[in-house]
Chain A
Amino acid sequence: MKKWYNVLAILMTAVIMLGTLGMACAEKPAPPKPTGPITINIGLPMPLSGSASPWGQIPTPFREAWFEVFNREGFQVNGQTYKLKLIQVDDQNTAEGGAAAAKQLIYGDNCKFIAGHWSWNFGAVASVTNPAKVIFVTRTGAPDALPASWGGAYDPKTMPYVVFGTPSFDEFVNYCFTLRDAYPNMKKLGLLDCTISKNGMGWQKVQDTLTKAGIPWQEEWFTYGQTDFAPIITKFAEGGCDVVLIAGWIGEHMAFLKQRYEMGYKNMKVGCSGPFVSMDIYKSVVGAAAFEGAIGAYDDNSKLKKTIVNPKYIAECQEALKIAAEKTKGPYEYTGEIKWIPTHPQILVQAMQKAGTVDDPDAIMKAIRGGTFDTAQGKWTMSGEKTYGSAVNFGNTGQLCIIKDGKEVYLAEHPMDPIP
C-alpha cells in the first residue's frame, strides 16, 4: 500500500511539474494592437534664447504648421500609420546648450531622431546622438560640421548616425555658380566670411573649386562682432569685385548692404548664402534704397524653374505658410525653413519606409546612405562618399532671389552637382 502511495505521489509531482513547465512555455497572448496612428518624436535643438534666437524663433510658426499639415495623413510603414511630433529645445547656439538639449530630447522626450538642426554645436550634439544611436539630421559647415580631415568634427566611423540633410558649406560654393549664372559678365566675385569659419582645408576647397571653374575671386574676413565694413568694402571695390557673397551672416549682410551704398558703391551686388529672414528688419536697418538689389538665398519651392518638386510638397508648404500667417496674424513670407523642415523629416520618413522599420537606426541609415529622396527641395541622391567619407549629403537647388520694389523676386538657380 505504501508503495502505491509513493508511485501516486511521484506521478502527481511529475504532472504538476510538466503542467507548470507547459504553462511557462505557452505563448503569451499578444498585446492589443494600437488602434490609431503612433507618434514618433523628432527633436530639434534650436537657439530660442541668446543672440541667435531670432533666427530660431522666426521659422517656428512655419515648422509647426508644416507638421500639422503632414500629420493630416501621416505616413505608413508596414501597414502602421505614424505621425511626427516636433519637440524643440533651446540650445542657445552653444556647445554646452546643444549637448544638454540633445540629452533632454533623447532621454527625456524619447525622440527617435534629431532633425532640422543648424546651430553651431554639431560636434557637441553628435557626441550625444551617436552613442544613443539616434539619427541626427543636420547641415554641413558652421563651423565644425566638416570632415575631420578638413579640421572639422565629422568622422563617419565614430558618427555613423549623422546625415547632412542640408549641405550648407557646399551650398555656399554652389551659390557662387548661381551668381555666375545670374551675372555672366561678372568681373570678380568677392567672398566674405567670419574668421570663426576660417579653416584650412574647407576654405581651400572653396578656392580650388572656384579657380577650377574659372571664376575670379577675392576673399576677405571679418572678426566676430564687427560692425564697420568700410575697409573691407573699399578693398573689394579696389580689387574689382562687382559681386560679393557673404557666408550666411545676416546682420553683417545688412550692415554691408547699407555701408556699401553709403560709400558710393551702389552697383556692387551683395548676396548672402542665408535667406532674408525678416524683410521688415532689413528695410529698417538697411534703408529701402540700399536694400534694392540685395541678393539672398531663396527656398520658395513654388518659384523653382530648373528643379522639379512634387506638386504635393509645394502645396503642403503653401498650406503651412498660410497657417503660419494665420497664427502670426500677419503676412508670413519666410520660406528659408523649407530646406530644413520639411526636407529633413521627409528624408527620414522615406528612409523608414524603404527600410521597413521605424525602430532600427542601422537599417534606416543603410537606406539613407546613397539613397534617393524626393522632398520639398526636389529629388536628390545622397552623395559625399569621397569628400565626407560617407554618402550622407543631400542636394540643393541653389536658388537665389533679388530684392525688387522691396520684394523677393527669383534671380537664378543652379541645381547642385552631387558632392564627390
Chain B
Amino acid sequence: MSFINYSSREINCKIVYYGPGLCGKTTNLQYIYNKTNPEAKGKMISLATETERTLFFDFLPLSLGEIRGFKTRFHLYTVPGQVFYDASRKLILKGADGVIFVADSQDTRREANIESVENLVHNLAAHGVGLDKLPYVIQYNKRDLPEIASVEDLRAELNTLGVPDYEASAKMGKGVFETLKGLSKLVLTKLAREG
C-alpha cells in the first residue's frame, strides 16, 4: 500500500521479492545495497537464522529521486523462501505495491519455482489481490550457472501472464537493477493511472 505524504512531499511504495528457497532474493538486495550511494539508501536489515537463511524478512529502504517535486522512496522486502515459513510470507506480502518473482534457473529447481508461483497466487488471494492486477515482473536468476533451463522453457512454465521478465545473475550483479527498474516503472505507472 503506497503512502503519499503531501506534507513532506514523499511517495513511499513497498516492493516484495518472492521466490523459492535459495533462489537469490537476499542476494538481489545485497547487491542493490552495495552498489547504491550512501545518501540514497538506509540500513539493510536481515532477520536471518544462524546459517544466514532468511527467517522473517530482509528490508532495504531506497530513494529513487524526485518526480514533480515528490521524493520517491521504495521499501524493498524479501520473504523467506523455505516452504514452512508460509505464514511469514503471507504477512510480508500484505500491502505490497509490486512483486518481483525471483526464479532459480537451475534444472533441479523447476518444480520449486512452479510451487512458489502457485504459493504467491494463493497468498495474494488471501489478501484479496489477483496477480494479474498487481505490478509484477519475473527475474530468471543464476544464468551464470551450468545445467540451467532455457529462458524459453522457464517463460513457458512461469510467465503465463506475459509480464516483463529479466535474465540475471544476482551474485555478479547482472540484471539486478534492470529488474528493479522494470518493476518500479510499473508501480509508478499504476499509481499515476489510478490517481
Is chain B found bound to chain A in the same assembly?
no
What is B's interface to A at a CB cutoff of 8 Å? none
What is A's interface to B at a CB cutoff of 8 Å? none
